[in-house]
Structure 1
């Protein structure tokens, strides 16, 4: 009996039944199933949710299975099938692990368009990852490289040359089946192209499908009913007529009760312009991750962290603002506010700042206000290059852009984000710099994450208590509460100075999205994960009106309150406001037609040609000048105006860091130069990679 068993085992071994390459179909299907299950487990962090996905929605699991199966089918095209199979596993594993890690810091899952933000992500990585974290990331990347090399050398190979015709037929067949399932799913509306909530979509439709969809679905799909006649009908029936006469009548009014502002938060303001004969200045203030922490049902604070904002919300026109993102995505809230366009029509997770606006202009609030004589300014106390704003803002119609590289007296949070109090001076300077009315779009940054899990504030003004003991979360919320407390003081100081300003001003304030604090909808007393609160304040009397709006409707609403009808998209929203019982589905359908036509179609709304040309964007309000240069014994002195910590010196094309720097003088020591020198001062971005602007050059002759 033992002999028979032994001979049977020997027979199995001899015939190669235990060799993995004898069962390619089993390996193919088995690798796919294991990969999909691991991807979903990483994405969901819940075995129950994984089982629900597999057994309750098997058709969705099948779609994800087919996508992954297609990629594994490439192993049939080469003798190095083990190596290719390993590469595919590493590819999907990298997606799954990246998604898992990103969801620890934000609510939005990993999608293809995140890859276009790598430069921006690298710029802020130090705010989220410690030194040990960078070492760990480096170790993981190195391990992947080593693994690929080992796979190439050691992975299983076919002993015989593969049948390439059969292999290609297998790849084509499974690919066509995948495309068929994809198209049927889209046609039957089982698989959507766009997601209003990307986080929920990943849980519903699966990581492989959603990530692939984010790659395939970029831009706005051509609506089925799109043609010139449809656009003409929309313009005739669904857009209010142009009327640029401002109906607001500024009048003196009793100032509302003010919140006291600590002396260190008061900004020195220049004397206002004495003569002013224009309309109302319009100031948008987008507050980074600004959220009413008292709306969390498990949080108790020792005092209201944002009393000024609460008072203004109760006494001014206000409401809930529906924003397109949560935990991250500032640029997408900006896009909706500035353009009046709905991001739901774009690709899954797309950032138009990184796609269509890299190539063309877009109708926007700055262009619309420009049509009636305004000057448009962008202000942001973060680097100009973040989200490519230094390039995108010219295509959105801004005349000037004051980033942190053009600011003075910056102070920083413990997490090294610039504090917002510096913005008051920059807003006032922007209005004083022109004789026209001003449109000012201000983007704050102080409330940005990451929020430290360790204690960094030893004696915080706002103390947070949680219902359940969680020291790490309590430290995060305490840090966040004290940042929004200081942001609220900044709002108090800004409104105080605008109240005393001798020009009429409207200030629109709102949070760009909820902070990345792992907030669930069940944690909130009111609102949802995609709503923040906005306020419409003025230094003159305006009737209080409370209205909840979408982010893409806010600009149209503010212009409507001013009696301004500019811009096709904004006038389209205003018509919808007037028709209180309008069909929302028809409203969204026509909006998609307008957006597609403006950005990807035939520009029928503009008569066939885009009327908006990129602006010659000026960096900063205060002129940076280089007046004269002295050089002696290896030391150079540069005299001028408005230098700051981001100023560097360029001598004959080579960059030099100042030895010391003051607002009117830069000094560089230990130079070894000779001959004719061409010298200028440049403003370098906060990350030391991009020259944002330069002064005129001065020529210096050095004789030895």
Structure 2
């Protein structure tokens, strides 16, 4: 036994000695690598760029294996090399900085983050990661819990914290270049930048490169991750058309005005007058006809009401600008009548030009006809900056989740759309005249769970999907759509009871992120959703496929309403020669140009938008042993009590009752109740209320 133990002990010493030798070799190799990085940066840049390029493309392919990279490198060789060149350019900054090793780490970390986030987004939303998503970070943070578990969020936060700590340590302790040849480095950097510029110019000239990206998902596969991320950062807005001028805009106006005059003359001959019904658009989140997926069957129709109204009223397919995500861009086209194809790659105008520019919209067009414009969304006011953008677009009111008393939520934490029926009717009841309502639902929002989360689901997948995780996704989605369909029926029934002429347009904003491709559908393509146009005015049924940016003008045409630049243009010029070219000229002129169409003076000012329809009202306040209870009307879970601009610790009980600590209010204090978003922003405030302590 002792002999055996001695042998084990001897073997342990040998292993330890070998370990020390390996450690020494590793340390020596590390020092050699560090030395090479410092002495031969250009060669290291080439090697790192190739490695990072391969990693980015592997993570950025829906078929994440090495063969897909080989296919890309073989079939799109020049594009593959150009992506590596972009990465090489970013590494070239090391040529002119003393903290060379630290810079290598930072650049590598940034590209790694882009690759990992891109992979995550492709797997959760079927949408690649672009620079635009960075600008949306403020909107995304409040809803992260809808996509990730608390543990996942904590883990991500911990990883970010660790990365920051390591960066600080690296900055403090990694060696700097003692003899940096700065002049030589700058000369090398200038040569690299010049070569990059030349290759880029040649690429655009030969057509290998393009900044006209309409399908961002396909673009990432065709043009590569680093190129597409870079182009979304650099290419925003509408390029100035080559023929843009005052004369060109006047020519377009003259053509449109003449066509409108002819149209109005025909209407006069037919004794047709302007109709002014209530006009309601309801944009259903991630909604489409799921029964049109080939091979997938259900225990019953998930969309009975939607199918019924499609058969009875004007209906068809609506061509949307996005797939799997991009709600704000769908509504941008529908509200403004502008074509996103003329904007930058993957651009969200809500986050760019509409941050500081007002423009014409369906709201402004109908307000000229005496309408009041309402926006409704059962999600946060600040999501996509709608709380600011809708003011730029001319809306008078905006009813959001914060101003609603939401009682029912999906298993993923989104508000259920049933609440919207009351919100829409409240908007219609709030005025004596006609109303334009643009309502955005949220219930169908992803991410769709891969496990069973619904007990006793109404809709069950009965065939066509073998993968259990995907089956669970479809089951969850189908049940949300089924409940949304009940909202569709309830809304129509409520409008039927009103003694007001109404046109209701209902449609999906884009397909859900369920990995659906064109070949999986029995109709059209994955950029098309279904729509119907319900009315109680006896309008004739007209079916067809239509572009999202043209739908609003089609509705107004049914009402013989022809004012507005984009509205009249679509009504008279659709299908004519130079339709898209002239549309681009108008869009550029209105948003970026001289605004010749308005005599060089923008006629629109941002509205002082009102959040919610119902007033906050305090009717009573009384004291108990520990608390002060505030009684009133229309309180929500976002209600907060303020005294002299100081927010009190407020507990929400129900729409009629709030509670604050007893010691936070004194006899004679004047307080208000406000609805406060998570942004934070005060959205609505009650009238001041004088507190009188009945115990004194």
TM-score (norm 1): 0.89
Aligned to 1:7: none
Aligned mates of 1:84, 1:325 — CA distance in 2 = 37
For 2:669, what is the secondary structure of its paired residue?
strand
Aligned to 1:600: 592
Aligned mates of 2:458, 2:200 — CA distance in 1 = 55
Matched, 1:211 2:211: no
1:620 to 589, 612, 626: 612
Aligned mates of 2:686, 2:317 — CA distance in 1 = 45
> Number of matched residues?
658
Aligned mates of 1:643, 1:673 — CA distance in 2 = 19
- Which has the higher mean CA deviation after the structures are superposed, 172-181 or 209-218? 172-181
Aligned to 1:658: 650
For 2:196, what is the secondary structure of its paired residue?
helix
For 2:136, what is the secondary structure of its paired residue?
helix
Once the two structures are superposed, the pairs formed by residues 127-206 of structure 1 within 5 Å of their partners are 127-153=146-172, 155=174, 157-158=176-177, 160-206=178-224
Aligned to 1:226: 244
Matched, 1:532 2:529: yes
The C-alpha deviation readout for 1:242-285, integer Å capped at 9, x for no partner, is: 7899979xxxxxxxxxxxxxxxxxxxxxxxxxxxx982110001
1:388 to 369, 385, 388: 385
1:450 to 427, 439, 447: 447
2:635 to 643, 646, 650: 643
For 1:671, what is the secondary structure of its paired residue?
helix
The C-alpha deviation readout for 1:94-152, integer Å capped at 9, x for no partner, is: 11111111111112211111111111111111011012211321232133224424533
Once the two structures are superposed, the pairs formed by residues 549-560 of structure 1 within 5 Å of their partners are 549-560=546-557
Aligned to 2:567: 570
Aligned mates of 1:356, 1:141 — CA distance in 2 = 31
Q: Structure 1: any 5+ residue segments left out of the alignment?
A: 1-11, 249-276
Cα distance change on mapping 1:670 and 1:315 into 2, 3 Å: same
8 Å CA contact 1:677–1:699 kept in 2: the answer is: yes
Aligned mates of 2:468, 2:479 — CA distance in 1 = 16
Cα distance change on mapping 1:54 and 1:656 into 2, 3 Å: same
Cα distance change on mapping 1:18 and 1:420 into 2, 3 Å: closer
Report the alpha carbon displacement of residue 236 of structure 1 after superposing the two structures with TM: 1.0
8 Å CA contact 2:89–2:192 kept in 1: the answer is: yes
Aligned mates of 1:90, 1:654 — CA distance in 2 = 42
Report the alpha carbon displacement of residue 38 of structure 1 after superposing the two structures with TM: 1.1
8 Å CA contact 2:406–2:415 kept in 1: the answer is: no
Aligned to 1:258: none
Cα distance change on mapping 1:675 and 1:458 into 2, 3 Å: closer
- Which has the higher mean CA deviation after the structures are superposed, 95-104 or 61-70? 61-70
Aligned mates of 1:453, 1:69 — CA distance in 2 = 39
Report the alpha carbon displacement of residue 154 of structure 1 after superposing the two structures with TM: 5.5
8 Å CA contact 2:240–2:588 kept in 1: the answer is: yes
1:33 to 46, 50, 53: 50
Aligned mates of 1:107, 1:373 — CA distance in 2 = 42
Aligned mates of 1:632, 1:652 — CA distance in 2 = 23
Report the alpha carbon displacement of residue 194 of structure 1 after superposing the two structures with TM: 2.4
2:125 to 106, 114, 117: 106
Aligned mates of 1:289, 1:17 — CA distance in 2 = 50
Aligned mates of 2:158, 2:659 — CA distance in 1 = 41
Aligned mates of 1:403, 1:17 — CA distance in 2 = 57
1:338 to 335, 339, 343: 335
Aligned mates of 1:17, 1:75 — CA distance in 2 = 16
Aligned mates of 1:35, 1:106 — CA distance in 2 = 24
Aligned to 1:43: 60
Report the alpha carbon displacement of residue 468 of structure 1 after superposing the two structures with TM: 4.5
Aligned to 1:691: 682
8 Å CA contact 1:246–1:564 kept in 2: the answer is: no
Aligned mates of 1:104, 1:397 — CA distance in 2 = 37
Matched, 1:487 2:504: no
Q: Structure 2: any 5+ residue segments left out of the alignment?
A: 1-27, 269-273
Matched, 1:590 2:582: yes
Aligned mates of 1:118, 1:17 — CA distance in 2 = 37
Once the two structures are superposed, the pairs formed by residues 204-353 of structure 1 within 5 Å of their partners are 204-238=222-256, 240-241=259-260, 279-353=276-350
- Which has the higher mean CA deviation after the structures are superposed, 89-98 or 60-69? 60-69
Cα distance change on mapping 1:399 and 1:244 into 2, 3 Å: farther
8 Å CA contact 2:285–2:441 kept in 1: the answer is: yes
TM-score (norm 2): 0.90
Report the alpha carbon displacement of residue 697 of structure 1 after superposing the two structures with TM: 2.1
Aligned mates of 1:225, 1:688 — CA distance in 2 = 43
Aligned mates of 1:19, 1:677 — CA distance in 2 = 71
Once the two structures are superposed, the pairs formed by residues 496-535 of structure 1 within 5 Å of their partners are 496-535=493-532
The C-alpha deviation readout for 1:490-511, integer Å capped at 9, x for no partner, is: 1111111212211010000100
The C-alpha deviation readout for 1:415-468, integer Å capped at 9, x for no partner, is: 121111111111112112111111011111111111111111121111013434
For 1:208, what is the secondary structure of its paired residue?
helix
8 Å CA contact 1:246–1:563 kept in 2: the answer is: no
Report the alpha carbon displacement of residue 676 of structure 1 after superposing the two structures with TM: 5.2
Aligned mates of 2:388, 2:679 — CA distance in 1 = 17
Aligned to 1:72: 91
Cα distance change on mapping 1:670 and 1:86 into 2, 3 Å: same
Aligned to 1:440: 437
The C-alpha deviation readout for 1:638-685, integer Å capped at 9, x for no partner, is: 343322322111122222243454434433233244475231000022
Cα distance change on mapping 1:117 and 1:206 into 2, 3 Å: same
The C-alpha deviation readout for 1:548-607, integer Å capped at 9, x for no partner, is: 111111111111122111211111111134xx5x23xx2111111111110011010111
8 Å CA contact 1:244–1:564 kept in 2: the answer is: no
Aligned mates of 1:214, 1:456 — CA distance in 2 = 37
8 Å CA contact 2:275–2:559 kept in 1: the answer is: no
Once the two structures are superposed, the pairs formed by residues 355-434 of structure 1 within 5 Å of their partners are 355-408=352-405, 410-434=407-431
8 Å CA contact 2:451–2:472 kept in 1: the answer is: yes
Aligned mates of 2:587, 2:60 — CA distance in 1 = 33
8 Å CA contact 1:353–1:387 kept in 2: the answer is: yes
Aligned to 1:255: none
The C-alpha deviation readout for 1:71-102, integer Å capped at 9, x for no partner, is: 11111112322221121111111111111111
Cα distance change on mapping 1:156 and 1:57 into 2, 3 Å: farther
1:116 to 125, 135, 138: 135
Measured on the aligned residues, the alpha-carbon RMSD in Å equals 2.6
Aligned mates of 1:632, 1:497 — CA distance in 2 = 42
8 Å CA contact 1:63–1:178 kept in 2: the answer is: no
Report the alpha carbon displacement of residue 388 of structure 1 after superposing the two structures with TM: 1.5
